[in-house]
Amino acid sequence: MEGTDGIRKRLRLRPGRAAAGRTEKGRTAGKAEEQARPTEKQAQTAEKQVLPTERQAQAAERQARAPEKKETEKTELEKLESEGIDKRSQNLMQLIRRVHGLVENPDLEKHRQSQDYIGTILGNARDIRYREVDIGGMYGEWVSVNRAHMKKYVILHCHGGGYSTGSSVYARTLTSKLAASTSMDVLCFDYRLAPENPCPAALEDGMKAWNYLMLLGYGARDVILTGDSAGGNLALSLVLRLKQEGRILPRGMVLMSPWTDLTSSGRSFQTKADLDPVLNKAYIDKMVEAYAGDRDLKDPFVSPLYGDFGGFPPTYIQVGENEILLSDSLRLHQAFVDANVPVRLDVCPGMWHVFQMSPMKAARAAMDKNAEFIYDICR
């Protein structure tokens, strides 16, 4: 009879035999798996060969959709040119028209004085500092926040006013908001006005302000160029001139309701004529005559819309939905897209020409968007 030790010995041996059997089977399975691997590798290789084709197909599909997407966007923008206005917005436009009427004056000099008065009232803020500067005989104004702020970059602002009115003081309604929202220094300058000083006086003064910043030690890429209305025209003309002279262009541009086409050929001159509370065709024609005189209105340094925008810096355009210059911004945006310029356009619902000047929530929100764009391009 077998002893207990013998039984235990056999029991210890059995697991060993089972393990050995499993190991041998595992080796056999492993060999089979290795033999199968070339087939998997071949499949992976074949998959990799297919991927480029798939990517090419996807790229081709995106390319095919691009014109359709661009056409859809174009159609939507064209709809904005001809859309009407709701009752609530109509009441607001009437209010803005009455307020604007307080500034308007057939006497040009009194009109300019009224603008400066508005700028003094609405533009002054406790946390903003204004410093006068002489730019080669031209009045300029530094606008800064009364706190630690960014010094590396600077904003050069071109004020609006149809090239016949406006000033650095009137522009405080914008420059103070630009300085506060970006924490950057803003330089505004009083270029010579028409009809006393017609085209190209304003552009010559714009170049003087640009060169002044270069002499201070700023590089072209340290400057963000901004402009409203006629100041948007001047900002575009300034970049066209820098490009013509083969000089380095600014880091970017922010344009608010830019006046880009002095031929007044945009659709919105008809479709928004009864809505715009600030501008009308008769006023525009008067400004054109005073500034351009007998010059070709399609000269890019008169109407920048007809310029060559190849190589232009990133640009952000804001325009009101209810202004006759809406088409000037829409067509400029399309010209930039066609020239492969990085551009962003915001058509602000229910708003009017350079509404950013107003002391209202929508104006502050728009200026915050301007600041966001400037931060993005300065990273």
- Last residue of a domain, which of 17, 36, 57? 57
Residue 373: inside a domain: yes
**Residue 30: is its pLDDT beyond 60?**
no
Residue 81: inside a domain: no
Q: What's the confidence (pLDDT) of residue 268? A: 97
Between CA 268 and CA 250 the distance in angstroms is: 30
Q: Are residues 196 and 278 in the same domain?
A: yes
Place 125 in a pLDDT band, splitting at 50, 70 and 90: confident
Cis, bond preceding 106 (omega within 30 deg of 0): no
Residue 70: inside a domain: no
Residue 69: inside a domain: no
Query: How is the beta sheet containing 138-145 ordered, strand by strand?
Result: 128-135, 138-145, 184-189, 150-158, 223-228, 252-256, 315-320, 343-348
What residue ranges in the chain does DSSP mark as E strands? 128-135, 138-145, 150-158, 184-189, 223-228, 252-256, 315-320, 343-348
CA angle 268, 273, 276 (to 5 degrees): 95
Task: Read off the DSSP letter of residue 54.
Answer: H
**Least confident range of 121-135, 220-234, 299-313:** 121-135
Q: Are residues 197 and 118 in the same domain?
A: yes
Place 249 in a pLDDT band, splitting at 50, 70 and 90: very high
Q: Are residues 244 and 356 in the same domain?
A: yes
Q: Are residues 297 and 342 in the same domain?
A: yes
**Average pLDDT over all residues of the chain:** 84
Predicted TM-score (pTM) of this structure: 0.77
Q: How many domains does the chain have?
A: 2
Active site residue 323: yes
CA distances from 193 to 147, 160, 163, 205 (A): 34, 11, 6, 10
**Least confident range of 91-95, 201-205, 336-340:** 91-95
Q: Are residues 148 and 247 in the same domain?
A: yes
Q: Are residues 162 and 310 in the same domain?
A: yes
Q: Are residues 171 and 295 in the same domain?
A: yes
344 is written with which tokens?
């962003």
Residue 301: inside a domain: yes
H or E element at residue 101: helix 87-101
Q: Are residues 139 and 272 in the same domain?
A: yes
Residue 66: inside a domain: no
Arithmetic mean of pLDDT, 271-280:
92
CATH number at 150 reads 3.40.50.1820
Question: For residue 269, what are the domain limits?
Answer: 86-378
Place 126 in a pLDDT band, splitting at 50, 70 and 90: confident
Residue 73: inside a domain: no
Place 283 in a pLDDT band, splitting at 50, 70 and 90: very high
Q: Are residues 94 and 156 in the same domain?
A: yes
Place 247 in a pLDDT band, splitting at 50, 70 and 90: very high
Q: Are residues 98 and 43 in the same domain?
A: no
Residue 178 is which amino acid? L
Q: What's the confidence (pLDDT) of residue 116? A: 85
Spot the catalytic one: 81, 323, 327, 329.
323
Q: What's the confidence (pLDDT) of residue 106? A: 77
Spot the catalytic one: 229, 237, 257, 264.
229
- Last residue of a domain, which of 41, 57, 73? 57
- Last residue of a domain, which of 57, 77, 102? 57
Between the two ends of the chain, the Cα-to-Cα distance in Å is 91
372 is written with which tokens?
């966001």
219 is written with which tokens?
């590089």
311-323 confidence digits (pLDDT tens)? 999 999 999 999 9
Residue 67: inside a domain: no
Q: Are residues 98 and 47 in the same domain?
A: no
3 vs 368, more confident: 368
Place 9 in a pLDDT band, splitting at 50, 70 and 90: very low
Q: Are residues 3 and 109 in the same domain?
A: no
Active site residue 114: no
Task: Read off the DSSP letter of residue 306.
Answer: G
